[in-house]
Amino acid sequence: MAEIDASNALYIKLGESGVWEADCIRDGTLRLGYRELPHELCSQGRWEDAVAEVRKWSKDQGAATRHVNQVRLFYEADGPTLWITFHADRLWWCFAHPEVKLLGDGTKVRRVIDHWHDSDVQGRLLLKAYLSGKLLAVQGFQGTICSVSERSYLLHKINATIAPHVAAAQAALETLQSTLVPMIQNLHPKDFEVFADLIFRQAGWQRSGVVGGVERDIDLDLISPVTDERIAVQVKSRASLTEFTDYRQRYSDMRGFARFYFITHSPSRELGEEAAELGDLTFVYWGPQELARLAARHGLVGWLIDRAS
């Protein structure tokens, strides 16, 4: 899918408590209530008359203009306007044809161009868990339609592009991680075992046994306090491809562990080249780059600097 652009972005609440969301997404429509407001007035652009009409039934006389302004957006927002809503824990977006039709129940609809989309231009789902709180805040709007102030951010998410300030932060993070690799590789073997233990602890894992020397083939025996899942970890400062494949074979004979982690900060050239392909979801390989990424993510940069200084 090609990148999109939009001169404006609007959030629409599809029915009270989202009652129309599934139908609109399935049918490719935008739908608006305001049954009491005559379609003829709106389609003819008689907005002052529309305000007077709303004041006949609205308890909040001062809100009449605000109600009509939302309806006006529905009728007059042009083709370059990007429409968004939220449904099933995802962001949905579309563009719409200009024509507004009146349904038998008094609600109004616009047809969507193409269909509603719930993924970016590269096909990745736009899950709410990975969206900015500033964008998600529009869900708290008390009316039906409002402008999206985070239009630039929204377009970056849909186009799978990165804002300049985010790109700068990512570049700085990559530089930091590259500087951590030699620090990790210079750790004493015992410190390296502690470092590995700290990574898992920061992720919520708890030790079932002490670090190192408890089991011949295991340095860390860890358990999740939430799921009771148990994992085994082997920590080696230096490791060859032969050692890696040997431990993988040993793990295949073990029982009681959901996964096995093979961790090394200084793999041989052959291991570094092939481990990623040889590992899988149950036998996981972490080399120096992954360890540096995890150190930055889990707040262990200071710990590494203290050991290196």
CATH number (domain holding residue 247): 3.40.1350.10
Residue 44 is predicted with a pLDDT of 93
- Whether residue 219 sits in one domain with residue 95: no
End-to-end Cα, the chain, rounded Å? 50
Asked if residue 91 is part of any domain, the answer here is yes
Beta bridge partners of 223: 206, 230
Asked if residue 135 is part of any domain, the answer here is yes
Our count of domains for the chain comes to 2
Beta bridge partners of 284: 261
- Whether residue 124 sits in one domain with residue 172: no
**Residues in the chain with pLDDT values less than 50:** 211-214
Residue 249 is predicted with a pLDDT of 87
- Whether residue 241 sits in one domain with residue 98: no
- Whether residue 170 sits in one domain with residue 141: no
Asked if residue 131 is part of any domain, the answer here is yes
- Whether residue 187 sits in one domain with residue 73: no
Contact (CB, 8 A) for 106 and 71: no
- Whether residue 203 sits in one domain with residue 138: no
Crossing angle of the two packed helices 164-185 and 288-297, in degrees rounded to 10 = 120
Alpha-carbon separation of residue 225 from 183, 196, 203, 208 (angstroms):
31, 18, 11, 11
Residue 129 is predicted with a pLDDT of 95
- Whether residue 185 sits in one domain with residue 111: no
Map tokens 């972490």 to a residue. 286
Alpha-carbon separation of residue 47 from 51, 145, 261 (angstroms):
6, 17, 66
CA count, 13 A, side-chain hemisphere, 135: 24
Domain boundary among 138, 159, 180: 159
- Whether residue 214 sits in one domain with residue 131: no
Q: What is the rounded distance in angstroms from the CA atom of residue 78 to the CA atom of residue 69?
A: 15
Check: pTM over 0.95? Answer yes or no: no
Domain containing 274 equals 165-308
Asked if residue 75 is part of any domain, the answer here is yes
- Whether residue 303 sits in one domain with residue 261: yes
